[in-house]
């Protein structure tokens, strides 16, 4: 049985796709429902943790990754970007302090750490 099509936009905007390892080495990219390119790994998306349709989380947390800040260095998750539509679209201006683009950085981490995302995803540049 084919998994259901994503019900929400599921856009991850402004991520640095591999092999871009540094912001001065490439452009940010837009990825829509990127898990659909490896549907066996995450048939209900990266925000699913119970193996049934529907996201269990609306933050950058899911079946593979829990991405958050830890600015107080206690090794406990702090703030994570949250989106009811699972659209993670945040501005990034590297001329400003890192605290001003925390959501963009955490979204990039969430995508980068997905185990099946690194080599199978095409890139659509902005
Ligand atoms: Ca689910
Ligand atoms: Ca913490």
Identify which ligand lies nearest to the alpha carbon of 63.
1
Residue 90 burial (C-beta neighbours within 10 Å; 0-12, 13-18, 19+): middle
Identify which ligand lies nearest to the alpha carbon of 3.
1
Centroid of ligand 2 to alpha carbon of 106 (angstroms):
14
Distances (CA, A) of 34 to 47, 56, 124: 12, 18, 11
Centroid of ligand 1 to alpha carbon of 84 (angstroms):
14
The confidence score (pLDDT) of residue 27 equals: 82
The confidence score (pLDDT) of residue 116 equals: 62
Residues above pLDDT 90, as percent of the chain = 37
CATH fold, domain 1-126, is Elastase; domain 1 (3.10.170)
Centroid of ligand 1 to alpha carbon of 48 (angstroms):
4
What are the pLDDT digits (tens) for 90-120? Answer: 998 889 999 999 999 899 889 888 876 544 3
Spell out the domain ranges in the chain: 1-126
Q: pTM of the entire structure?
A: 0.80
What are the pLDDT digits (tens) for 24-41? Answer: 888 888 888 888 877 788
């Amino acid at each position: 049985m084919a998994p259901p099509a994503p019900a929400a936009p599921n856009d991850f905007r402004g991520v640095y796709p591999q092999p871009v390892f540094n912001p001065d080495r490439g452009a940010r990219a837009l990825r829509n429902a990127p898990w659909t390119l490896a549907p066996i790994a995450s048939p209900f998306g990266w925000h699913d943790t119970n193996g049934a349709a529907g996201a269990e989380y609306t933050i950058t947390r899911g079946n593979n990754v829990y991405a958050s800040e830890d600015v107080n260095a206690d090794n406990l998750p702090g703030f994570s970007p949250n989106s009811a539509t699972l659209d993670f679209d945040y501005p990034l201006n590297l001329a400003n302090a890192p605290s001003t683009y925390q959501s963009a950085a955490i979204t990039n981490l969430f995508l980068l750490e997905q185990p099946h995302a690194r080599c199978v995803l095409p890139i659509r540049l902005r």
